[in-house]
Structure formats: C-alpha cells, structure tokens
Amino acid sequence: MATITPALETHGHEHEHAHGHHEQTFIQKYVFSTDHKVIGIQFLITTLLMLMVGGALALAVRWQLAFPWENMPIVGKLFGVFQGEGGQISPEFYTMLFTMHASVMIFLVIIPVLAGAFGNFLIPLQIGADDMAFPVLNMLSYWFMWPAIFCFGYSFIAGGATAGPANGWTSYPVLSDIASASPSSGEAQTWWLFGLTLVGVSSMMGSVNYMTTIINMRAPGMTLFRMPLTIWSMFITAILQAFALPVLTAAGFMLVFDRLHTLIPTSIHSVFFVPAGLVVNNAAPTVGGGQPLLWQHLFWFYSHPAVYIMLLPAMGMVSDMLACMCRKPVFGYKPMVYSMAAIAGLGFIVWGHHMFTSGMNPALGMTFMTSTMMIALPSAIKVFNWIGTIWDGDIQFNAVFLNCAAFVALFIVGGLSGIFMAAVPVDIYFHDTYFIVAHFHYVLFGATLFGVFAGVQFWFPKMFGRQMHDGVQKVHFVLTFIGMNGTFFPMHLLGIAGMPRRYADPYLHGYLEHLLPMNQFMTISAIIMGFAQFLLLGNFFYSMFYGKKVGRNPWGANGLEWSAPSPPGHGNFDVPPVCYRGPYEYSGPESEALGQDFILQTTAPPAGVKVASAHH
Amino acid sequence: MKKFWALFFWFWPLVALYVCLIAPGNNWWFPSKPLSTMGHQIDGLFYLILIIVTVTFVGTEFALGYALWMGATKEPGRRAWFSHGSHKLEVVWTIVPAFVLVFISLTQLDVLADIRVLARFPESVKEAPVAEVMARQFEWRIRYPKPGTELMTSPQPGDLYFVNEVHVPATVPTMINLRTQDVQHAFFVPRLRVKQDAVPGLIIPVWFEIEEAGEYELLCAELCGWGHYKMKARIIADSPEGVSAYLTRLEREQNEDGVQEAETASVK
Ligand code: HEM
Ligand SMILES: [Cu+2]
Ligand SMILES: [Cu+2]
C-alpha cells in the first residue's frame, strides 16, 4: 500500500507487490483492484460504453428533429413497448431523451473519462509514483460510479414509463422542484439528483487523491516545472473540482430536501427554491419564500468550472501528444501552465454568463460579461502555443496527431462562438437557441472528445502492451470529423435563425419550417458519426488481444511513463525513476548526442552536452 | 498522404466559411431584419463580433493548416525546430487579444444598459406597462387594464383577458410586465430580438419599440415541461388607435358573454 512519504523515500524501499510475485485473486486483480492502472482502465471501458449509451440517446433526439413524430426505425418498437404508443417519440419522451443524453455525456462520460480514466492511469506513471496516495479511496471512486449509473438508470423507470427525468441537465426549479409541475418531476427527478450526488462523491474522492499524489509522490528530480502539462492540467482540474463541487452538492441536497416528500410523504419538505403563491397545474398555491434563481447561481457556480473540468485535462494531454508527434518541445510551457491556472481562477467568476436573460441585476450582467471575455484570453494563448508547437515540427501524421490537430481546429470554433455569447446583448438573442448547442458541442465534442480519441490511442500501448491499428483510427477520425462538423456546424445557423433548443417540434412555428431539410442533413451526419464509433470500440477491443505487441516506448516519447514496462506491473517501475529534465526535450542537443530525437526524462545527461536550461 | 492531411485542415474551414456566406441567401440566417430599435443595435453588435471572429477564425485556421503543411513538406532527415517558445510572441499574443476583447466588452455596455437598466428605460414607458403577460404551462395569458385605467399588479375587476395574442402599439416604446404563474418560461420574440425569462415570484418589466405594424411570433425559450415547444403565440403591433379599438372590442365581448368572471377567477 502506498503511503504519503516524501517522493525520495517512496522509492527507497522495496515494493513487495511489485512484479506480480504476490498471488492475487481474479477479483482483487481486475474487479476490486486498488491498482491505479486497473482503475483507470475500468473507468475508460465504462465511459466508452456510456459514450455509446449517450450517443444512442442523441440519435433518438436527432431522429425526432429530422423526422418529427415519425416512427423510429428498429429501436422505435422497443421504446414503443416502454411507452405503449408505437414507435413514435412523445414530447414527454423527447424531453427525457435530451435530458438524459446530456446527463450521461457530462456526468458518466466526459468528466469520468478525463479525470477518472486518464487521471488515474497517468498521474502515478507520469510523476514516477508506484500508485496513488490513497489506493482504496481510488477504488471507491470507481465503484461509486455504479450506484450513480444505477440511480440515473432507475430514474428512467422510477416514475413510470413516460415520466423519466426530463427537466434538462440543468434541472432548473421550479419545474424540477414541484412534483405537479411535470410527470418527470416526480420520483424520477429525485433519483436523478441522487445519481448526480453520487457522481460528485466519486469525483471528490478522485480529486483529493490526485492533489495529494501530485504534491507528495513525485519522483526525485520531478520538480513542479518538470511536470508534463497533463499532470498540471489534472492538478488544476482537481483543485477546481474540490472547490466547486461542494456548492453543487449543497444545492443538490437543498433540491432533494425540497422534493423528498415525493418519495417519502412524511419526510422533510423545504422550499428553498419555491416562492409563495404559484399555481402549478391547478394544484393548491404554493407556500414558502424560496428563490428559483438561487439554484441557477449555485448550479452554475459549479457547472461553469465544471465545463473546464471537462476540458483542461484534454488540453494537457493534447499538449503532451502534440509535442511527441511533432518531435518538438511544447511552445511556451510556462505560459501554458499559467493560462490553465488563469482559466481555473477566472472560471470561478464567470458563472453568471449562463444567466444573462434570467432576470438577475443588469449590473451583474456587465461584470460577468467582462470576466467572461477575459477567460477567452488564456484560451487564445493556448491555441497560439499549440500552433507554435506544431510549427516547423517533424510531424508524424498518425491518427494521434490528426485527432490532436482536430482538437485545436475545433476548439477555435468553440472558443470563438463563446465570444458572441459572452456579449450580453447578442446573447439575449442567442440564449437557449441552437447557437448555444453548437458552442458547447464544439468544445466538448470537438475539443475534449477528439483529445480523448487521441489519448486512447497514444497511451494504449502503455495500458495493454499492444498498439491500436492506426489505419482504422484514421478512418474513424475522418468519419467522425466530417460527421461532427456536418452535425454541429449548421447548429450555428439554426441558432442565428432563432431556433430554440429543447423543442420537441420546432416546425410548429412557421418561421422555422424551412429548416427541416437542414436538420435532416444534420441527422444523417450524426448517424454516420455515431456508427463510426464502432470502429473505435472494435479497434480498442480487438487490439487489446490481437494488436501489434510493442515495447516500453513505441512513440519515442519522453515522459516517465515510457520508461516503465508496457504494461507496467503492480508498483509500476522496475527501475525507480529519477527525473533529469523537463518532459519536452525532443530534438534537442541532448537527444542528438544520443543519436535520436527524444530523450527520456529518466535518461541521465549524456556526457559532454552543455544543456542550456535557461530557456524557460 | 501527408500533404492530403494538411490540405484537409485547410479545406474544412473554407467549407465552413462558404456555408456561412451562402447562408443568408438560403434563408439560413436571421428570421428577418430586426424589427425593433434595440434589434438594430443587437444586430450591429453581432456583425461587429462576426467580423472580428471571422478574421480570427481564418487567421488561426490558416496558420494551423500552414504548420501542418510545413510538416508535410519537410525534407526527410531535417530535424524539428528546437524551440521552447518566444517571450516576445507570448507578449504580443496576450496583449493584442486582450485589447480586442476589452474593446468588444466596452461596445456592449450601452446597449445592455438601454435594454435592461430600469433607470434608462424611455420615460414614456417607465410607469406605464400596457399589459401583463403571464406565462403558464403551456400558454400565455395576457391581461390588459380596463381602457382608461392603469395596469395594477393584482387583477382588477375591469381587466381584459386574452390568450396567446398580445396587442401592442407599434412605433412607440412599449412596456409589458412579464410574470409566470407556475414554472420558469422565457418571453422570446425572434424578429424583435427580445428575450427575457419569466421567473416565479418576480414581475419583470420588458420594453421594446416595434418599428412596423405587423405580426410577430412569440415563443417560450426556457424549458418549462414537455409542452415547452408548443407555447406558440403572437404579438400584434398596430397603430395606437388600432390597439385602443381592439381593447374596446375586447371589453365589449368580454362584458357581453360573461367571460370576465370566469377568467378572473381562474387567474387568481
Ligand atoms: C472561450 C471561452 C468561452 C466563452 C467566452 C464561453 C462563453 C459561454 C457563454 C456566455 C455561455 C452561455 C450562453 C447562454 O446560455 O446563453 C456558454 C455556455 C456553455 N459553454 Fe462556454 N464559453 C467558453 C468556453 C467553453 C468551454 C471550453 C466549454 C467546455 C469545455 C464550454 C462549455 C459550455 C457549455 C456546456 C455551455 C452550455 C450550458 C447549457 O446551457 O446547457 N464553454 N459559454
Ligand atoms: Cu460557462
Ligand atoms: Cu417553455
């Protein structure tokens, strides 16, 4: 069991579990494992499967937008059995579909794939530790995902077939608060909130662990400014989580207290978010003195930092991968670190940009506009530095690189559309239209997911000792890239055309009727993109068993993880790593002296090379 | 093949640009020109940002594509450029965008204040909402004061009611009071570029000046339940005389068929 000893000592003692001498049962080794690598892979496989679930929900949403009220092919029958009304999507069901699509994608895919899968797998390996600081806590953080998945899953059926949770992933009260407000606001909403809270518990356990591990367990020589940007991003993300999440958890409990009587009639019945005198669906007027806007403030106080939790780790990983694939140091390492820190800091004071039309004080609107504009600045700096990293590199045009380049290219779009929405008067028009939907898909799909695609392939050899097939990944890349742009780029135009989001049938409104063909085009693109993901899954599972076997450092990369065996045994390193330099010294004088274009962080400085270390 | 990928990353932004260029001609653009005074200002700001953003988009995507092109055409054996960055460049690409972003923010402030700050509402509307628009699942209920009286916060005996149709005067500033009877909704009139959430427990004044008489679609823009998409209503802008005539007619109808009592009772 790893302990929090200063980094130097951690590697002094023999690790008794190392090299698999110790017999472990299958369950200990692969199920309730405390090994960060196994936990990381568990997170990865779980989130990839959840990605398919979320994707299926999205395709159903897209079906309704392209062919409103027509029977869904194939799965329609299945849903029909559920709802008892043929293969048609009812408006209740549609509302549930987009709510659960977002909930699954955000809470069960993006957040856990970055922090849970890559964070777990990479942090100890990249800083040269034998495991996380708290391995049991780490195991629990994975196993708390399952009750969360159960709660989200159960919420589909808790209130009856047509009453799944359907108040949006933002779940604004009063709609989500008063049971009579909608069929979905009964039991389903309460179970949804339980799921949300459990995801939070899981994230919090992870983030405590990451912070402790990164601070305490770095290998000798691994100073803060020799850490790969992946580690910086995971560290900053963990801090964001730790400070923002309690607010969401508190808000979640307040909403649960408002609603608990829907599950247990005699229990607590608060009214944090319900003002007096509302007549909801002809029920008796509400009593109380709550404030619905309070939820929005608390929710976005978490969820804006959360959008960066959903991006920063991918930014870090892409920086690492771009350096390796361009055989070049990251351009502006320190500016990259500082801009991530700036994003994290500013991320706490911009939440109001989700509330420009909410009726909050206009003076606040001005403040939030300015802070939001400012947060675009570190994002811009990062983009320039990525381009600088690629500039005049010896580019390896494999799928890892292509996905990383797509990350940059698509993040630009998402960042730039953010500027329209940061401008309050313009956002007054765009708020809650498809323009917003375009924006966040460019950052979350375009940036984060493409970063994940690259990351999966890049670290696959370290996970399984084998390589994924690059050709298949390239086909996957092209289909996903084209499908992604075909699906989401037109959403900007729909937003400009004034099409509101979350509408089961926009064409009811005359001024939107002519947008149907465009929506059909988008749905076809989405279907192509959705099916392309089977290539990824197929390649992933096939390569796990039949991929080409590779050694420790197939990419010729510099990080500590590449000095460990592939896959590393329990305890990670056969030779205790010592770190001699930063992670990005590709193509420099030291590597040249060795006759190669990389030099591992653990390689002792070759004799006779003068290192100009003043470059930062 | 390497060159193909560089071209690929050059090509798609061009497609994106082309789609945007042909969008207005294909009616994939604003539903119409702005038809309120504020709408003109909002669209002006939109186009200002659009220009800045387009230039940035073209510049950065081109640079990215060019960086790929350099990699694709590198003669084999030549090493990558060993550089850890440039302090000078970092300063430039921090300061320039910072100025642009601050500039964009400053251009927004006045318009924002005009739209939302009560003290800057036109004098003529400040104290005189023409109607109360009460959202509920899934319709809009409009309450006008009895002709010749002022709108009160709570319903008055002579008030006039109608559903899903708001009659307001064109070419003069107009204010309505926005409320909701149950959950959140949002008052969204695309052609006027007006949007405001209706928040339980609050009465929110919304003002606009419609430039042309006509019909404008009114929709809900805040998720309010399964029927969110069907909160379809219209704003009918007419000359001030036309609106008075409408209200007189409404008053007569309401008093004749006894709708008044029923309606008032249910709104309470
Ligand atoms: C360049 C910096 C960015 C700016 C200026 C910006 C600005 C905004 C603004 C103003 C909104 C609210 C729009 C509205 O609802 O009316 C918004 C929404 C959103 N943004 Fe960003 N954003 C930026 C980057 C990002 C990033 C990096 C992510 C995620 C990785 C992200 C994810 C989201 C999401 C998920 C929403 C929509 C939430 C919802 O309503 O469901 N944004 N953004
Ligand atoms: Cu935000
Ligand atoms: Cu609505």
Yes or no: say if A328 and A343 are a contact pair by the CB < 8 Å rule.
no
The reported pLDDT for the residue numbered A22 is 57
- pLDDT the model gives residue A17: 44
Dist. CA A243–CA A241, nearest whole Å: 6
Neighbouring-strand partners of residue B207:
B175
Q: Are residues A419 and B53, on separate chains, in Cβ contact within 8 Å?
A: yes
Q: What is the dihedral of CA A176, A182, A188, A194, to 10 degrees?
A: 10
* Interface-testing mutation among B41, B45, B68, B111, with chain A (most A C-beta atoms within 10 A): B68
3-class DSSP string for A357-378:
CCCCCHHHHHHHHHHHHHHHHH
pLDDT at A15: 43
> DSSP 3-state helix, strand, coil percentages of chain B (rounded to 5)?
50, 20, 30
3-state per-residue secondary structure call for A303-337: HHHHHHHCCHHHHHHHHHHHHHHHCCCCCCHHHHH
Counting ligands in written order, the one closest to the CA of A175 is 3
Which residue ranges have their beta carbon within 6 Å of ligand 1? Answer: A 170, 307, 310-311, 353-354, 372, 375-376, 379, 415, 418-419, 421-422, 427, 430-431, 436, 439-440, 443-444
pTM summary value: 0.93
A161 touching B (Cβ < 8 Å) = no
The number of the ligand 1 atom at minimal distance from the alpha carbon of A422 is 10
Structure-token pair, residue B143: 């309450």
**Which chain A residues have a beta carbon less than 8 Å from that of B181?**
278-279
Distance CA B23, CA B200 (A): 38
For ligand 3, a single-atom ion, the residues with CB < 5 A are B 185, 220, 224, 228
Tokens of B47: 């186009």
Q: Does A362 touch chain B (CB under 8 A)?
A: yes
Q: Which atom of ligand 1 is nearest to the CA of A106?
A: 35
Phi, psi (deg, nearest 5) at residue B100:
-60, -45
Q: How far apart are CA A414 and CA A444, in angstroms?
A: 9
- Residue A573, pLDDT score: 94
Which chain A residues are closer than 8 Å to B90 by Cβ? Answer: 332, 335, 381, 385
Single-letter code of the amino acid located at B112: L
Cα B36 from Cα B170, distance rounded (Å): 9
Residue A203 is predicted with a pLDDT of 94
Q: In chain A, where does the domain assigned CATH 1.20.210.10 lie?
A: 30-221+241-310, 313-550
**Cβ proximity of A462 and A125 under 8 Å:** yes
> How far is Cα A342 from Cα A499, in angstroms, rounded to an integer?
34
**Helices A312-326 & A229-259 angle (0-180, nearest 10):** 160
pLDDT score of A164: 83
Residue type, A350: V
State residue A8's pLDDT score.
Answer: 40
Would you put residue A142 in left (φ > 0), alpha (ψ -120 to 50) or beta? alpha
Tell how far the Cα of B221 is from the centroid of ligand 3, in angstroms: 6
Per-residue pLDDT of chain B (268 residues; tens, 9 = 90+): 899 999 999 999 999 999 999 999 999 999 999 999 999 999 999 999 999 999 999 999 999 999 999 999 998 888 889 999 999 999 999 999 999 999 999 999 999 999 999 889 998 888 889 999 999 999 999 999 999 899 999 999 999 999 999 999 999 999 999 999 999 999 999 999 999 999 999 999 999 999 999 999 999 999 999 999 999 999 999 999 999 999 999 999 888 765 555 555 444 4
Please give the structure tokens belonging to residue A111: 């957040």
Cα distance from B222 to chain A (closest Cα, Å)?
7
Residue B232 is classified by DSSP as: -
List domains and CATH numbers for chain B.
2-72+89-116 (no CATH), 123-256 (2.60.40.420)
Enumerate residue ranges in chain A where pLDDT < 50. Answer: 1-21, 84, 614-616
Please confirm whether the linkage preceding B138 is cis (ω < 30° from 0): yes
Choose among A391, A458, A447: nearest CA to A414. Answer: A447
Name residues whose C-beta falls within 8 Å of residue A208's C-beta, 6 or more positions apart in sequence.
Answer: A134, A137, A238, A242
Side chain identity at A583, as an amino acid letter? P
Cα dist from B67 to A172, A326, A337, A396, A584, whole Å: 45, 10, 23, 13, 19
Residues bordering ligand 2, an ion, CB closer than 5 Å:
A 304
Instruction: Give dist(CA A371, CA A352) in Å, integer.
Output: 10
Search chain B and give the residue with CA nearest A614. Answer: B84
Q: Which CATH class is domain A30-221+241-310?
A: mainly alpha
Distances (CA, A) of A8 to A222, A338, A575, A578, B224: 10, 27, 14, 9, 58
pLDDT of A50-102, one tens digit each? 999 999 999 999 999 999 988 877 666 665 555 545 678 889 889 999 999 99
Minimal CA separation from B134 to chain A, in Å: 12
Which CATH superfamily groups domain A313-550? Cytochrome c oxidase-like, subunit I domain (1.20.210.10)
Looking at chain A from residue 255 to 294, which residues have their Cβ under 8 Å from any Cβ of chain B?
274-281, 291-293
